[in-house]
Amino acid sequence: ITEYEIPSIPKYVAYIETASYRIVAMELLNGFEELSKIIDKLSPKQLTFISCQTAAIVCNLDQIGVSHDDMHERNILIDR
């Protein structure tokens, strides 16, 4: 895919890895909320779960050399 085939600049990027390929999928996601907008409503258990997931994602991004400077609560999406 080329930049000309992407109809608009995506708001969110998803990283997917399988046994045969790695892909950074750019897509607009429906049904998700930004963590920064709901963080005060989450329980300690939910926050711990989210923290563990985020750490795992960052670790995977590190392994393939993808920058994750924007991995903060404004850019983390939660599907509740």
- Measured in whole angstroms, the distance separating CA 76 from the mean position of its chain's CA atoms is 6
How much is the pLDDT for 43? 92
Of 60 and 72, the one with more pLDDT: 60
Nearest to 43 by CA among 18, 3, 78: 78
Tell me the pLDDT band of 10, cut-offs 50, 70 and 90. very low
Contact yes or no for 16/23 (Cβ under 8 A): yes
Q: How far is CA 7 from CA 18, 24, 49, 56, in A?
A: 26, 16, 34, 30
Question: What pLDDT, in 10s, does the model give residues 14-69?
Answer: 666 666 666 555 555 667 777 888 889 989 998 888 888 877 777 777 777 777 66
How much is the pLDDT for 72? 61
Residue 76: other Cβ atoms inside 10 A:
19
